[in-house]
Amino acid sequence: METGKVQTYIAQEQAQRAMLESLLNRVNDLNAIGAALSSERDINRLLETILEAAKKITNADAGTLYLVDADKQVLTFEILHNDSLNIRMGGTSGNPIPFYPIALYHEGEPNLAMVVSYSVLRGETVNIPDAYIAEGFDFSGTKSFDAKTGYRSRSFLSVPMRNHEQEIIGVLQLINALDETTREVNQFSKDDQQLLESLASQAAIALSNRRLIQQLEELFESLINLINTAIDDKSPYTGGHCARVPALTMMLAEAANRTKLGALKDFNLTDKDRYELKIAGLLHDCGKITTPVHVVDKSTKLQTIFDRIHLLDTRFEVLKRDAEIEMLKGNRTNADYEAHIRQLDSDREFLRQGNIGSEKMQDADIARVKQIALYRWRNEAGQTADFLSAEEVENLTIRAGTLTAAEREIINHHINVTIKMLEALPWPRHLRHVPEYAGGHHERMDGKGYPNGLTREQMSIQARVMGIADIFEALTAKDRPYKEGKTLTESLNILGKFKENGHIDPDLFNVFIREKVYLAYARQFLKPEQIDAVDESRIPGYVP
C-alpha cells in the first residue's frame, strides 16, 4: 500500500508539474504574441495573428473574430478559421465571409440571444461546455452550419475585446477546445479563459493603436494631397505631375525589388520602405507651392501674365504705318515700301515662331533677333525707342524652351524650398529619409545636378529611382504648356542618352527597360497615340 501511495503521489506530482509547465509555456506564448501584435502594421494580418494566437494558447479547433461597427449597431465577421474543415475566410485569405453581420439590437432592444452579441453588450466572457444542451442562447445558426458540413460545434468561449479606454471594439469566439494528446473536444478551462481574456485585452489595444496610426497616416496623406491640390489649382501643369511621379516611382522601385540580376539583385523593400518612398514621392515637389504661377505656366518666351507677342504685332503695325506715311510723303518709293513691308511681315512671323520655344535657336536666329531689336519706333509716349527692349531680347533669344536663366533658377529653387519644408518637419523614425528621397530627384550621377551636386555614390537607390521617374514623366507628359507629350520611343531614346551622359543611374535604367516599367506606366497614363512599338535593342545605353 505504501508503495502504491508513493507511486500515486509521484504520478500526481508529475501531472501537476506537466500542467504547470504547459501553463508556463502558454504564458510565454502570450508574451511573445503581445510583442508580435505591437509590431504588425497591416490590419488584416493583425486580425489573423490575433485569432491564430487565441486558438494556439487555448488549443481551439476553430474561431471567429468580430468587430463592432462604427455606429455600434452590428458585429461584422472579420476572420473565420476552422482547422478540421480547412476553412480560412476573411483577412488576407481572399475568401469573403458569406455571413450577415450580427445585430446588436432588434427594434431598439439588446440582442442577448447570440453569444457574441451578449458578450459585447454585457461586457462579459461566456464559456459554454456544450452548445447543444446550453440554454438561454440561440444556436440555430451553429446547428445549421454543423448539419451542412458534418462538423460538431460543442464548446464555446467568447471574450470581449476591450481597449485601453475600456471600450469594447470586438469579440473573440473560439470553438472546440481540443485535448493536446487525444484531440478530443473538451470544455474551455478557467486557465484558457484567463489567458484568452489577457490576449483579448492586448489585441484590442494593439488593434486600436494600429487604427489610430492608420487614421493619422490617412490624415497626413490627406494634408499632402491638400498641398498638391493647391499646386494643381495654381497650375494645371503641375498637378498631374504630382500624382504621376509617385506612381512611376513605386513601379520602378518594385521592379528593382523584383530583379535578381546585376547590382540591384540584393535591393529589398520592406512595407515600411515602401510607405516611406510613397510619402517622399507625394511630397517631392511640395516646394512648387511657392513658385510664381507665371513662371510655372510660361508656355511662350514672351509670356508673363499674358503673351506679349501681341505687343510686338502692334509695333510692327506702327512701323508699317510709318513706312506708308513716308511713301505718301514721297520720301520712299513704292518698290522700296513694298520690300520694306515684306521684310517687316517676315520679321514678325519669325518672332512669332521663335516665341513658341519648341525649336532650338541657332546662332543665326539669335543674330536676327538682335538685328530686329535695332529697329526704331515711336512708342505710346511719343518717344523714339528700340523696337525690342533688352528684356524682350533676352527672352526671344532663349536657345531652347521658354525660360530665361533667371526664370529657370526660380523653377529650380523649388527643390531648395522642398528640402527646407521637409527638413523642418519632425519625422518619425520610419519616415526619416523622406527629405533625402524627395530632395534628391534633380541630382545627377556625375555630380552635375542640383541643389547639392551629389554623385551616385552619395545618393540612396530610392532617390535615384525618383530621379528617373521625374524625368520620364516630364518627357511623356501631355499637359505641359510648352510641348506635346513624346512617344515611348522618343522618350526612351532621350532617357538612354541621359544614361550615357551620366545623368541617371545606369542599373535602374536597365531595370526600367528590362522589366518594362515604361510600358506599365504608359498603359495607365499615356494617350494611345504615344504608345508606339519600342525596339529595345535601339535604345541608347541599354544593356539587357
pLDDT at 346: 95
Q: Cα–Cα distance between 103 and 110 in angstroms, integer?
A: 9
- Stretch 66-92: mean pLDDT, rounded? 94
CATH architecture of 235-295+406-538: Orthogonal Bundle (1.10)
Confidence (pLDDT) at 538: 95
Residue 544's pLDDT is what? 86
pLDDT of 96 higher than 60: yes
Determine the straight-line distance between the first and last CA of the chain, rounded to whole angstroms: 86
Angle, CA of 461, 466 and 469, to the nearest 5°? 130
Domain boundaries, the chain: 17-212, 235-295+406-538, 309-402
Mean pLDDT score, 83-111: 93
Q: What is the CATH number of domain 17-212?
A: 3.30.450.40
Task: Give me the DSSP letters along 134-185.
Answer: --SS--HHHHHHHHHH------EEEEEEE-TTS-EEEEEEEEEEEPTTT--E
Q: How confident is the model at residue 357 (pLDDT cuts 50, 70, 90)?
A: confident
The band of 208, judged by pLDDT with boundaries at 50, 70 and 90, is confident
Q: How confident is the model at residue 482 (pLDDT cuts 50, 70, 90)?
A: low
Residues 6+ apart with CB under 8 A from 463: 436, 437, 439, 440, 441, 443
Question: Which of 209, 174, 186 is closest to 53 using CA atoms?
Answer: 174
pLDDT per position as a tens digit, 293-315 = 777 777 788 888 778 889 999 99
In sequence order, what are the residues at sequence separation of 6 or more whose Cβ sits closer than 8 angstroms to the Cβ of residue 296? 234, 235, 237, 238, 288, 411
**Which distant-in-sequence residues (6+ apart) come within 8 Å of 278 by Cβ?**
246, 249, 250
Per residue in 361-398, pLDDT tens? Answer: 899 999 999 999 999 998 888 889 999 999 999 999 98
pLDDT digits (tens, 9 = 90+) for 32-70: 565 556 666 788 888 888 899 889 889 999 999 999 998
Yes or no: say if 57 and 45 are a contact pair by the CB < 8 Å rule.
no
Lookup: cell for 46: 493583425
Kindly report the pTM of this predicted structure. 0.72
Say whether pLDDT at 16 is over 90. Answer: no
